[in-house]
Amino acid sequence: MTSISPTQNTHPTSKPSRPSLDELWMPFTANRSFKSAPRMLVAAKGMYYTTDDGRKILDGTAGLWCVNAGHCREPITEAIRRQAGVLDYAPPFNLANPLSFELAQRVTKLMPRGIDRVFFGNSGSEAVDTALKIALAYWQAKGEPNRVRFIGRQRGYHGVGFGGVSVGGIEANRKQFVGQTLPAVDHLPHTHDIAKNAFSRGQPAHGAHFADALESMIEKHGAATVAAVIIEPMAGSTGVLLPPKGYLERIREICTKHGILLIFDEVITGFGRLGSAFGATKFNVTPDMLTIAKGITNATVPMGAVCAKSEIYDTIVNSSAPGIELFHGYTYSGHPLAAAAGLATLDLYRDEGLFDRAASLESYWADAVHALRGSSKIIDLRNMGLVAGIELEPRPGAPGARAFEVFLKCFEDGVMVRSTGDTIALSPPLIVEKPEIDRMFESVRKTIELVS
């Protein structure tokens, strides 16, 4: 007879028991508040999560900007299962697995022309820190070791590594680590201008001039000291901030003029989110490096990467002495399960035409976003691809409280949205149907009215 442990569930159809909540320190979460009223997700399929009390939750955020093809897609899960039984792990230092090479080749085929080298990591945060280190190594190899300064942007988000926090422009992410971030960093002004661009459909018309601040910073520090500029084509985590028309083009022009590397953080904007493979292809602006993660594996297995121009790779590799050319990497770089998941994910994107599908829904999505105009306490609406930012008037003395309450009420109503500051962000899987779009925005509309 098989023994059953006291904690084993002997009734599979019963409500699952909750584990102790004490031991886990949750990331980017108000732990005390959450643990007093937890929201548990126990299953997912397609466009929906299932909670531990059996409710279906429409996923309006693609998890965390990452489940672009929908949840538990069988081609991806089967590829992971199959690979786990063949090769579960292979060391990436002086050894390799063939899937990582195949995935790198497949990824570069989606990139703007000239970006054809891939360095794998495990997250967007690792990708950003890797890109910064590659930039420094590049200038060392070029014989310009004084190029050590990075320029980010206010309200930019580039992950949580010390490099990413340094170049990122969200002050709250740095305040507990004062004195321990990178020293040679400056930040461009953000491009968000409600006074002139409120309720724009797509790219706002006003604001290309914000790029000119880069010229001033270069003049201040000296071009010969600046290694790279890093920005998101569209800032997501800070509240869906869209690039004004001409802005990215101007940033590229200035970087080219002064010989400065331009890095696009495409962890959120990559893999169809804006109705194109990447923000770089959407806006027809080619950086020198891109950081990617999230959608590369449909979030099934953690993976991130830096995609770089071959000139960067060649400069570092060919100028080095025999042996290791870049002293950087991760135990799980190009992990075989992640590579298998990535290949299956790219197949699914291609076979179902999901990037084009997102583009075809953009107009319907924009109409749904801007139909909220006039609702109480909404001060701006922003959209691009399948992304929406719904900015709410802050409560006096309680910034962010109104939007977080909308997040909670929508979850009670069966729709997952994301709150960031006083903005509600929506970014559903690219498989979303029009009735599900309608359901999301109806829930947001009535919830904002209720909270207001």
E strands, 326-373, are: none
pLDDT at 308: 98
**Residue 4 predicted with pLDDT over 60:** no
Q: How confident is the model at residue 9 (pLDDT cuts 50, 70, 90)?
A: very low
pLDDT tens profile 134-156: 999 999 999 999 999 999 999 99
Give me the residue spans of the domains in the chain.
31-69+353-451, 77-351
Q: Return the structure tokens found at 298.
A: 């449909």
Q: Report helix angle 124-141 to 310-318, nearest 10.
A: 60
Q: Hunting for tokens 């004195």 — which residue is that?
A: 179
Helix-strand-coil split of the chain, %, nearest 5: 40, 15, 45
| Domain 77-351 bears CATH identifier 3.40.640.10 | yes
CATH number for region 31-69+353-451: 3.90.1150.10
Give the C-alpha separation, 323 to 315, whole Å.
15
Taking only Cα atoms into account, the Rg of the chain, rounded to an integer number of angstroms, comes to 22
Q: Return the structure tokens found at 338.
A: 């992640």
pLDDT tens profile 279-333: 999 999 999 999 999 999 999 999 999 999 999 999 999 999 999 999 999 999 9
Print burial letters for 172-204: b (CB count within 10 Å at least 16), e (below 16).
ebeeeeeeebbeebbbbbbbbbeeebebbeebb
**Residue 127 predicted with pLDDT over 90:** yes
pLDDT tens profile 62-106: 999 999 999 999 999 999 999 999 999 999 999 999 999 999 999
pTM, two decimals, is 0.95
Strands 423-426 and 115-121: unpaired
Rounded to an integer, what is the distance from CA 32 to the centroid of its chain?
27
pLDDT at 16: 61
Backbone angles phi, psi at 248, to 5 degrees: -65, -40
Helix (H, G, I), strand (E, B) or coil at 150: strand
Give the C-alpha separation, 398 to 202, whole Å.
30
Helix (H, G, I), strand (E, B) or coil at 346: helix
Give the C-alpha separation, 381 to 239, whole Å.
11
Give the C-alpha separation, 450 to 440, whole Å.
15
Return left, alpha or beta for 246; rule: phi > 0 is left, psi -120 to 50 is alpha, else beta. left
Strands 185-188 and 149-153: parallel
